[in-house]
A and B are shown apart, each in its own frame.
Chain A
Amino acid sequence: MGAPKVVVLDYGFGNVRSAVRALERVGAEAELTADRTAAQEADGLLVPGVGAFAACMEGLRTVRGGEVVDRRLAGGRPVLGICVGMQILFARGVEHGVETEGLGEWAGTVERLDAPVVPHMGWSPVEAPEDSVLFAGVRDERFYFVHSYAAQEFTQGHDDFASKHYTPPRVTWAHHGTPQRGARFVAAVEDGPLSATQFHPEKSGDAGATLLENWVRSLA
């Protein structure tokens, strides 16, 4: 069997070159494209994103990225969102008082962090659940974050569908600021085929490479 094929969605946002290189480093065959067929059929789809929530949503619309994500998830095909590529998976984002609708895969709002120093820029530890697949072997490492906004609550929205077949999302948390003035926020989510990280695994050195390798391995 060959290397898992991963498409990095090219919609004009994100340091896509780094994402492609980091995926190749951990043994994936990575392709940067906005082609919908390729994005649909790849073993994994990586949705990058930097900058503003509203601008990223606009960019996604131009390549009909939301549809691609939905179709993949309907077929149980893995998707990984990174940074703003994670934020847009929530129901909405609020930046500078303007509310923008997200893809709504998860309930909740992405809002500005309240801390003495914002953006949260740099290497922070995370609290990953014991059974996390993404963080296997790197639960105690720090990861590189660059963001001013985050989802600060996570609602387990699928209670109505609870059954013995349903696995609730695994949520990893991080904190920015001081104990007096800071925010606890969602650092990563693993929800069936849909995963996402608020930090940049492609910029998080060896720890980030291990996390990406864990994801790539799950595609095989």
Chain B
Amino acid sequence: MLYVVLSFLMVSLLLYVLLAGADFGAGIIEFFSSKKSQQLTKKTIYRVIGPVWEANHIWIIIVIVILWVGFPEFYNVLMVYLHIPLTLVLLGITLRGVSFVFRHYDAFVDKSQILYDWMFRISSLVTPIFLGMTFGAMVSGKIITSTNSISFYEAFIQPWLNPFAILVGMFFAALCAFLAAVLLIGEANSEERKIYVRKARIANIAVILIGFLVLSYGIINDLKFVTGFINNPYTIGLVSLSAILILPLTYCIKRAKKVKSRFLAGSQVVLILLAAMVTHYPDVIIISEGYISLTDTAASSEVINVLAITLIIGGAVILPGLFHLLKSFKMIKILE
């Protein structure tokens, strides 16, 4: 049963990163667009992401609930030591959510749109950076859980405000932009498509470049996570596979095969995330004194059993509906 819960946790996290990631990324693309294509992107985002936007973001709530129910001590460390970046993520999610509805549901279209647009774009960029910083902080080994008197800075700032975490944050934002660009390519007509193809290429280069920086910084500073990463054969395999996928992806984008290219881009991201997960499973938080393991901090088996059953039933109810929603609004064209 523990593995049922862990699979739900992993799948929810992956789906959040993919779906909400594409969603954040769309805002990032809008941020870095020229004035003319900004309006275009805005319309396309609304059409593509509008109907599923709410559902995408519930995955993070599922992740949080699974963590607090199933892995209370693990959750406790995250909530205490990463309080500040998580609060900033929340601030971003809030501003982004409301600016998204405001700009599409305001009864009059006037100057206030400019404000909503900028709020949307900036929060779309900043939120994934902080989210990525939180991921980075979990593995950067800077969290100090001993109760010895340490300063506020050491306990609550340094764990996440360090070069490694910042690089991971930027890496995550670049991944989001990449996903979104590939998604948008499929929705645009031939003229506009060129714009998104170019954006996808830029985002892809950014991903590789920043990824390279993350790794080199880790190697130079001998971070446990990174040395584990490069010495693990599975990890290397997954990352190489992800890199190889660039070739068919480029081909598919050229040929305007939109389903396949989305699928490939999604797989690339999933592979990279899996690589990161494989590296340090089950010791998912690396603290200065060692590790905090997900399996060791699991709640008692009664709790895990009930949680697993709830998740299975919930999944059986929700997934068909969600799938139908995605299909109805042509997000997934695999079935056609």
The finding on whether chains A and B are genuine partners in a shared complex, rather than unrelated, reads no
**Chain A interface (Cβ < 8 Å from any Cβ of B):** none
